[in-house]
Structure 1
Amino acid sequence: MQISPWHERCSAPRRMHTRAPAEGLAGLRETWRADVVSGFLVFLIALPLCLGISMASGFPPVAGILTAIVGGVVATFFGSAPLTIKGPAAGLIVIALGAVQDLGGGDPILGYRRALATIVIAGVIQVVFSLVRAGALGDLFPSSVVHGMLAAIGVIIIAKQVHVMLGVPGVSGEPLELLARIPASIASMNPEIVVIGTLSLIVLFGMPMLPWSWTKKIPPPLVVVVLAMSLASYFDLGHEHHYHVASHDYVVGPSFLVRLPGSLLSAITLPDFSSAFDATSIRYVVMFALVGSIESLLSAKAVDSLDPLKRRSDLDRDLLATGIGNVIAGMIGGLPMISEIVRSSANVNNGARTRLANFSHGVFLLLFVSVAPWLLQRIPLAALAAMLVYTGLRLASPQELARTWRIGREQMVIFGATLLVTLATDLLVGVLAGILVKTALHWRNGMPLRNVLRPHVEVIEDGEVTTLRIAQAAVFSNFLTIKRHLAQVPAQRSVVIDLSGTHIVDHTVMERLHELMDEWNLVGRQLEVIGLDAHRGLSEHPLAARKKALEVA
């Protein structure tokens, strides 16, 4: 296969292929042990995260577990990607909490039930997305906008959960207000609760740094739960009482622990559709459907890149499974679900081979919550808050800022605009702002407005080679058209993408073409990108946006 110099610079070493498991019962006999073991290990990670995400979302703690059970036991059978784990995700906390607060009018129970209605409707929309083959949505949104959105979510999670970790209840407000109130919460923190939260955070950050290989096999969230429950018992959080530190009086008690209903059946809550089609509800339906679909699709694609068998998931089928799962979860009182990247990555690392791992993790959750709900009620909220603060710090990490800067300064502008507008308004407005900023930068760099959605593509057939000659602009907003042209080329033909006629080729297109070259190479097809010799990268990064050198100011 002929590979362009650009591709030689970008390609990472590929793993050796592993034999795929056999189909049917033979395949089940071959892989079930590895899948069940992986499902059990993922269950240990998922259990505390489901509780924490639920409480941060303004939902009852058991809501996240209901979602993970549906995601494992039900969604598995509707074609979910083979190695993804379905369940609640930190990335949707902001939307879920906003829905409860805005739709309840001060009544959290009513807000919860009305939020469930928006989740059900969003699930139906995701099913429709899958039927019209909207899995390509994962290719549409610019990486810098998505990462800016996730960083904003991380900041919001930290702003809300750090107060819980400090043992200061009842702190509420907008994200920027919550950040400003952190010094006041530090001044009035509850020492025993702070000990639990701080040690939990140390375990989460510290365990991955330990040099011993055996520690890599122990999920840090499990260690956090065991440690936090031991400290809760030592501090006697099960009984309300006062204690004194440096002449200050503090109160602790069961309010600092997880609260669950007596049984899983009693936790089932039906949605309230009474205001499902007013303007506020529709806004949250759109956010659940769009943000949830984008996150889920991006996660599924990321997990495919980790799959040692190098399988490529049917993203439309995975979206169908997610949509059906959300309809069911919303109908019984659960959070929205996606293909979750952290648990899915753990699933791959634990040696999972098929969807049975996702199914097993759901079954283990169902059995545990049915048999021992009393045990969960000994988990301190501060430990769950620490897990979410840790997640928020990973979403909004300085490394992500540095990575964006290396790709190009214009990417940092887009990232920053998305982040700041999201913090000041909401996710939908923030994503729109990021897209508008990116579009404006492309126009400034020479993209004709007529090419925003439709690139100029000329298809040339020459022997066994099809050349797509693209003119004017190849950018995120018109990439789906380019991809449709590629999909129409017969599998036996080689393809050359000629970008010599473009004024601007953005980072998103560079990234997507690199991914496509890897995917085609895995199935023995040839895809070559040419025509970038006259372009100058906007940074030294190999996937940076490129602009015609003669047009650089």
Structure 2
Amino acid sequence: MNLAIKKPAAGFRGVTENWKGDLLSGFLVSLIALPLSLSIAGASNFPPMMGVLTAIIGGIVVSFITNSEMTIKGPAAGLIVITAGAVNELGRGNSVLGWRLTLGAIVVAGIIQVFVGFSKLPRLAEFFPLSAVHGMLAAIGIMIMAKQIHLAVGIPPVELKGKGPIELLEMIPHSLVHMEYHIAIIGLVGLMIMFGWRYLSFSFLKKIPPALVVMVVAIGLGRVFHLSEPSFADFEPLINPGAFSMGFNVSFAGLSADLLPVFIKYVAMFALVGSLQSLLTVRAIDLLDPYKRTSDLSQDLKAVGTANVVAGIFGGVPMISEVVRSSANINNGGKTRWVNLFLGLCLLIFVLFLSPVIKLVPVAALATMLIFIGFRLASPAEFTDIYHIGKEQLIIFLVTIVATLSTDLLTGIGCGILVKTIIQLIYGVKLSHIFNPKIGVTVIKDIYFVNVPRAAVFTNYLSLKGKLEAIPKGRMVQVDFSLTPYVDHTVMENITRYKNDYEQEGGRMELIGFEHHRASSDHPLAARKNQRQTVLS
């Protein structure tokens, strides 16, 4: 039987048809989600249990709205920096006030996401240059590691307050010298498990989530080292998960006029960065879906926005479509969006019956999980992959990282976009081409010829995509770049993905006219410049 052809039933029929496999996948993913949700919320300056609350809401609420069958919704490491910054800046030293105002920002951002979902704006996820997006994610990874390394070796959290990413990085040698060795042992063991688990030779062990193993081992070591004794009180070695409740926690009281610009900034960050990460994740997971289903990005963003409104009202951290848990869902054999529902129910059972155990988890254990996530976002492989695409892409990537670490996420990705535009102008792209590629479409004997006479760059890709989307499905299409003076990496990757999607739906598409283009590297998706001078204006 060809599973790519016989797709699982959608909607409520999918529950009755696939509930056994989806329930198993939901349970297995919940074992990953529980420790990660605790760690993400704690690092976001939220009560750790509120991360689990978000995962529960994300699972139960989203299941009834989204049509993205394979993505898992919940807290994500990529929003830690924004959320923690919002609590600090809006609270001005008052963590409770900062938490409640941050919830207000999450609710407003969620409402914006819902409204954006009703428009065609989710298409704008393809506007952002991919090197800048990867640079933003790498910067987030560095920020996460910069703080969590200190907590993994037992540095009291009070010593880290008010310090930015650069200061935290500079502080690492001092923290290593002054570590508390009991806590550092837990951190070291946790890192060994997180980074070494995939190298185990026993396949049955690989099926156990390493984050769950870290949590269990760390609880045992914490008991051996007596971390609950008063002598460790200054280090705050055990997490304080907070109470699990569904109370009405959001508040706008205390939002003074001078705080309003800060509040608006974080609303924009939650809405922009959260939506961008979520939409990119949905696109990536669709490519991994063994049944080759395509999600409606607008509908999915409406689902995420709705769940964020609910999570914000009750005290949870913001959520997105999360890539690690979504990938695990595919590997576990999940088939429909109802995995989210089973995940949420499993987590609800955990917090109702395992709260006393959660209070025994060392902070260092959660820190190691986040260090691992941060490293994956900013691994050396990311730098190498970008370099192989092209040196100019590496420049954009590095500028975005440095700008983000020095300022904030919005400024960082803005700098990446600016550098990308400058590089394209240096390569000869005309200003008149940047937003208007002047795409021409002709039909000859039922073959659609799409001519791209101007530069094809990230700022005008949506125009090209709009022309392609107007072509009926199942036809023969040729996209001709022979007169295109420059095609950037973002367009190469997006048009290649669109070609694959179009052909999966029964059509045929050819990308032609690159004979006279010189690629910036050997990578198949590298930017390429036309060496001929006869270019139409």
TM-score by length of 2: 0.95
The two structures, once aligned, show a CA RMSD in angstroms of: 1.7
Mean CA deviation greater in 504-513 or 459-468: 459-468
Given that 2:97 and 2:254 are in contact with CA atoms closer than 8 Å, whether structure 1 keeps it comes out as: no
1:234 paired to 2:229: no
Given that 2:155 and 2:179 are in contact with CA atoms closer than 8 Å, whether structure 1 keeps it comes out as: yes
Given that 2:473 and 2:506 are in contact with CA atoms closer than 8 Å, whether structure 1 keeps it comes out as: no
Change over 3 Å in CA distance of 1:487–1:547 after alignment to 2: same
Tell me the equivalent position of 2:178. 188
Instruction: Give how far 1:138 is off.
Output: 2.4
2:442 partner SS: strand
Change over 3 Å in CA distance of 1:116–1:263 after alignment to 2: closer
1:211 paired to 2:233: no
Aligned mate of 1:472, from 454, 467, 490? 454
Change over 3 Å in CA distance of 1:106–1:485 after alignment to 2: same
1:83 partner SS: coil
Change over 3 Å in CA distance of 1:375–1:344 after alignment to 2: same
Instruction: Give how far 1:45 is off.
Output: 0.4
Mean CA deviation greater in 55-64 or 336-345: 55-64
Q: Describe how 1:251-262 pairs up with structure 2 within 5 A.
A: 251=232, 255-262=236-243
Aligned residue-pair number: 528
Change over 3 Å in CA distance of 1:403–1:263 after alignment to 2: closer
Question: Aligned equivalents of 1:276 and 1:472: distance in 2?
Answer: 50
Given that 1:238 and 1:254 are in contact with CA atoms closer than 8 Å, whether structure 2 keeps it comes out as: no
Instruction: Give how far 1:238 is off.
Output: 2.0
Give the counterpart letter for 1:68 in structure 2.
A
Question: Aligned equivalents of 2:244 and 2:508: distance in 1?
Answer: 56
1:442 partner SS: helix
Give the counterpart letter for 1:235 in structure 2.
F
Instruction: Give how far 1:479 is off.
Output: 0.4
Question: Aligned equivalents of 1:441 and 1:518: distance in 2?
Answer: 29
1:459 partner SS: strand
1:456 partner SS: coil
Instruction: Give how far 1:137 is off.
Output: 2.3
After superposition, give the CA deviation of every residue in 1:151-199 in whole Å (9 maximum; x if it has no partner): 1001000111111101001223010000000111111100000011110
Tell me the equivalent position of 1:446. 428
1:107 paired to 2:97: no
After superposition, give the CA deviation of every residue in 1:484-537 in whole Å (9 maximum; x if it has no partner): 111111224322111111110000111011101111111111111111111100
Aligned mate of 2:388, from 406, 410, 415? 406
Tell me the equivalent position of 1:428. 410
Tell me the equivalent position of 1:40. 27
1:225 paired to 2:215: yes
Tell me the equivalent position of 1:9. none
Aligned mate of 2:245, from 255, 261, 264? 264
Tell me the equivalent position of 1:59. 46
Change over 3 Å in CA distance of 1:463–1:274 after alignment to 2: farther
1:467 partner SS: strand
Question: Aligned equivalents of 1:310 and 1:152: distance in 2?
Answer: 32
Aligned mate of 2:495, from 513, 522, 526? 513
Change over 3 Å in CA distance of 1:503–1:254 after alignment to 2: closer
Aligned mate of 1:294, from 272, 276, 299? 276
Aligned mate of 1:136, from 118, 123, 127? 123
Give the counterpart letter for 2:308 in structure 1.
N
Q: Describe how 1:124-163 pairs up with structure 2 within 5 A.
A: 124-163=111-150
1:218 partner SS: coil
Change over 3 Å in CA distance of 1:220–1:338 after alignment to 2: same
Given that 1:240 and 1:254 are in contact with CA atoms closer than 8 Å, whether structure 2 keeps it comes out as: no
Given that 1:153 and 1:392 are in contact with CA atoms closer than 8 Å, whether structure 2 keeps it comes out as: yes
Question: Aligned equivalents of 1:18 and 1:485: distance in 2?
Answer: 28
Instruction: Give how far 1:346 is off.
Output: 0.5
Tell me the equivalent position of 2:515. 533
Give the counterpart letter for 1:43 in structure 2.
S
Mean CA deviation greater in 524-533 or 144-153: 524-533
Tell me the equivalent position of 1:345. 327
Given that 1:536 and 1:547 are in contact with CA atoms closer than 8 Å, whether structure 2 keeps it comes out as: yes
1:76 paired to 2:66: no
1:86 paired to 2:73: yes
Instruction: Give how far 1:133 is off.
Output: 2.1
Give the counterpart letter for 1:102 in structure 2.
E
1:175 paired to 2:165: yes
1:502 partner SS: coil
Give the counterpart letter for 2:169 in structure 1.
L
Question: Aligned equivalents of 1:303 and 1:136: distance in 2?
Answer: 17
Given that 1:304 and 1:312 are in contact with CA atoms closer than 8 Å, whether structure 2 keeps it comes out as: yes
Question: Aligned equivalents of 1:357 and 1:276: distance in 2?
Answer: 42
Instruction: Give how far 1:23 is off.
Output: 4.6
Question: Aligned equivalents of 2:228 and 2:155: distance in 1?
Answer: 18
Gaps of 5+ in 1: 1-14, 242-250
Given that 1:460 and 1:466 are in contact with CA atoms closer than 8 Å, whether structure 2 keeps it comes out as: yes
Instruction: Give how far 1:444 is off.
Output: 1.1
Mean CA deviation greater in 46-55 or 484-493: 484-493
Change over 3 Å in CA distance of 1:413–1:113 after alignment to 2: same
1:501 partner SS: coil
After superposition, give the CA deviation of every residue in 1:272-319 in whole Å (9 maximum; x if it has no partner): 265388211111111110100110011111111111111111111110
1:430 partner SS: helix
Question: Aligned equivalents of 2:75 and 2:383: distance in 1?
Answer: 26
Instruction: Give how far 1:29 is off.
Output: 3.0
Question: Aligned equivalents of 2:500 and 2:11: distance in 1?
Answer: 29
Given that 1:408 and 1:544 are in contact with CA atoms closer than 8 Å, whether structure 2 keeps it comes out as: yes
Instruction: Give how far 1:550 is off.
Output: 4.0
Question: Aligned equivalents of 1:335 and 1:288: distance in 2?
Answer: 11
Question: Aligned equivalents of 1:453 and 1:225: distance in 2?
Answer: 51
Mean CA deviation greater in 286-295 or 450-459: 450-459
TM-score by length of 1: 0.93
Mean CA deviation greater in 210-219 or 376-385: 210-219
Given that 1:78 and 1:321 are in contact with CA atoms closer than 8 Å, whether structure 2 keeps it comes out as: yes
Given that 1:264 and 1:369 are in contact with CA atoms closer than 8 Å, whether structure 2 keeps it comes out as: no
Give the counterpart letter for 2:144 in structure 1.
I
After superposition, give the CA deviation of every residue in 1:257-286 in whole Å (9 maximum; x if it has no partner): 1113344246x5223265388211111111
Given that 1:457 and 1:469 are in contact with CA atoms closer than 8 Å, whether structure 2 keeps it comes out as: yes
Change over 3 Å in CA distance of 1:276–1:531 after alignment to 2: farther
Tell me the equivalent position of 1:362. 344
Tell me the equivalent position of 1:461. 443
Mean CA deviation greater in 21-30 or 56-65: 21-30
Tell me the equivalent position of 1:8. none
